Amino acid sequence: MQIKDLHISPPLFLAPMAGVTHSGLRTIIKECGGVGLLSTEMLSARRLPNENATLSPLLIKSPIETPMSYQMLVSDPDDIPAAMEALHRYGAQAVDLNLGCPAPAVRRQGAGSKLSEDLDLVRKVVSTARAATDLPLSAKIRIGTELNREKLQNFCRMLAGEGIDYLIVHGRLQKEKFCRPPRWEWIGVAKEAVDIPVIANGGIFTVADARQCLDITGADGLMLGRAAPQKPWLFAEIHHQLYGGPVPPPVNKPALYKRFIDILEATFPAGRQIGRTKEFSHYFARNYSFGHHLGSRVQSCTSMEQVHHVARAFFMLQEPEACTQAWPAI
């Protein structure tokens, strides 16, 4: 996929997730292979100009993390020019506008899915962002407040008309929880309305899910969210089976978990390591029948030293050989 000067291959995208899609996760996903475009967590447009890219957990990155899109959370178009200047300084290769996040804290700011309810303001936000950068510009949306084909398609056409280069569509209504299966067919409705690439997001946890989502939506690519911290190797599996990529090597899950926490300890400020480890563990634990033991015990940890002991003990019970290979005795 070619978007302006940015080549995205394969067309597999990492979704922006608060507290999750930071340098630690992005690095292990990149090392596993198969990802076409990485993403930051969502970044406040108002705060971006004052962030320190070498210290902020939201902006810390390593050379391997490329190409990468920076997602901007915005409610006021006046915040965009300075925020975009900051993203240029930080080396962004693409910019995404968050028009879909339904979290109450985000909506109270007038951002995310709340912003998408004000069409005039959305138009102003997109046109201002388009004027402020020549980088590939995307928008991430949900399928609306209700199932309305005309409204969804008109909204997508408006975004494309104001200069969005590609559209990311999450296949749920604004108030629908993740427990509800995504409405992939409605991503197809959005795809019919525009000539720009459409990326499908929501409910992709296996290669079979990926294949079915593409078949139903006709989308140009896929974005993985909650599956990414659970199975960082899933990009490589989809790349191989759907796009002819190389055969992925066997996955050593204890080694991958240890690699993740080693990255955090090496690159993140001490006070910012434990919280992100707990977030990651919440998802990664789902790979095991008794994974809740790992999740709950890590949640109780107050130091990274405790995390090492708790995690190694868990993995020694679940996969002793793999754990011994990756994790010397403490």
Residues classed as catalytic: 101
326, amino acid identity: A
Q: Which residues on adjacent β-strands are paired with residue 201?
A: 170, 223
Q: Calculate helix-pair angle for 23-32, 234-243, nearest 10 degrees.
A: 40
Between β-strands 12-14 and 6-7, what pairing exists: parallel, antiparallel or unpaired? unpaired
Query: Which residues, other chains included, contact 55 with Cβ-Cβ below 8 Å and sequence gap of 6+?
Result: 269
User: For residue 6, what are the β-bridge partners?
Assistant: 3
CA distances from 269 to 54, 57, 223 (A): 10, 8, 29
CA distance 277 to 290: 18
User: In whole angstroms, what is the distance from residue 297 CA to residue 288 CA?
Assistant: 14
Alpha-carbon distance 135 to 157, whole Å? Answer: 20
C-alpha–C-alpha distance, residues 113 and 128, integer Å:
18
